[in-house]
Amino acid sequence: QVQLVESGGGLVQAGGSLRLSCAASGRTFSNYHMGWFRQAPGKERGFVAAINWSGSSTYYADSVKGRFTISRDNAKNTVYLQMNSLKPEDTAVYYCAAVDRWGSIAYSRSSDYKYWGQGTQVTVSS
């Protein structure tokens, strides 16, 4: 079992930045690929970014490419999402998720992830 706790959300003006953190506990963090997803009111949960177990590979949704950066620190059992040039359409609840590093997954498919955090709200005002 892996427990995930997100933090760092808040209210920011358009063009601003936030850094989300997701702290993991319960199992060896480097055994998991990690992803960030988001869900806006009335919309389905969608992929934002993912990073493989070692941090050597990263993946992004087209809508955030060039603005968001995912990273991880396996020594601190934490994955980060640096969000720059925020837009009102980035407003959502952001969730981090984990999946075992063994086996084949589609990083952008939420159903492939086994463990989820409770989410953190990000609100971008215009």
What are the tokens at 42? Answer: 């009335």
| 85-94 pLDDT tens trace | 999 999 999 9
Residue 6, beta-bridge partner list = 22
State residue 68's pLDDT score.
98
pLDDT at 1: 86
Residue 110: what pLDDT?
93
pLDDT of residue 28: 93
Q: Which two tokens stand for residue 10?
A: 């808040």
Low-confidence ranges of the chain (pLDDT < 70): none
Best CA proximity match to 24, nearest among 102, 114, 117, 121? 117
